[in-house]
Amino acid sequence: MKQFIRRVIVVSGLAGAMLGCAAAGGGGGVGSAAADYDLILRRGTVYDGSGSAPVVADVGIRGDSIAAIGDLSASRATRELDARGLAVAPGFINMLSWATESLIHDGRGQSDIRQGVTLEVFGEMPRFSR
């Protein structure tokens, strides 16, 4: 389990933010050496949530937002993590969660958080009247 956890780096934020940066040409990738980031995830395999093939890229984060995706080799950050061989992905949504019982036992939701789930949807089962 520990090895699986290390293989998935979850970048908090919306999948749309990643898609938007990618569609805008990286939003600060190549040629933006003056960019300043709080965190750069270096050379990770980026899954943007669109279903398209993953790409090896750097992800620059400023505050709580994804600021750039692309080649950030000329950029620096306060903290840099080598993500080579790791998956970098937006948080995952569990649309059919049955975690109610596990959350009662462990309210921190570790069983899902460690798998990259950042949103649980409950109550999707219809109620049938008798």
Same-domain pairing of 61 and 82: yes
Q: What gap in Å lies between CA 20 and CA 74, rounded to an integer?
A: 22
Number of H helices, E strands in the chain: 4, 8
Q: How would residue 52 be classed by pLDDT, with cut points 50, 70 and 90? A: very high
Same-domain pairing of 14 and 42: yes
pTM (2 d.p.): 0.60
Distances (CA, A) of 127 to 15, 38, 49, 123: 32, 47, 32, 9
pLDDT value at residue 47: 92
Same-domain pairing of 34 and 66: yes
Number of domains present in the structure of the chain: 2
Same-domain pairing of 121 and 80: no
Same-domain pairing of 67 and 104: no
Q: Is 70 exceeded by the pLDDT of residue 9?
A: no
Same-domain pairing of 82 and 38: yes
> Cα-Cα-Cα-Cα dihedral of 17, 22, 24, 28, to 10°?
90
Q: Give the domain range for residue 75.
A: 2-90
**CATH assignment at residue 53:** 2.30.40.10
Q: What gap in Å lies between CA 100 and CA 109, rounded to an integer?
A: 10
Q: What gap in Å lies between CA 103 and CA 117, rounded to an integer?
A: 13
pLDDT value at residue 26: 45
Which residue, 2, 107, 15, 117, is CA-closest to 69?
15
Dump pLDDT digits (tens) for 65-117.
Answer: 999 999 999 999 999 999 999 999 888 888 888 888 888 888 888 888 888 88
Same-domain pairing of 28 and 58: yes
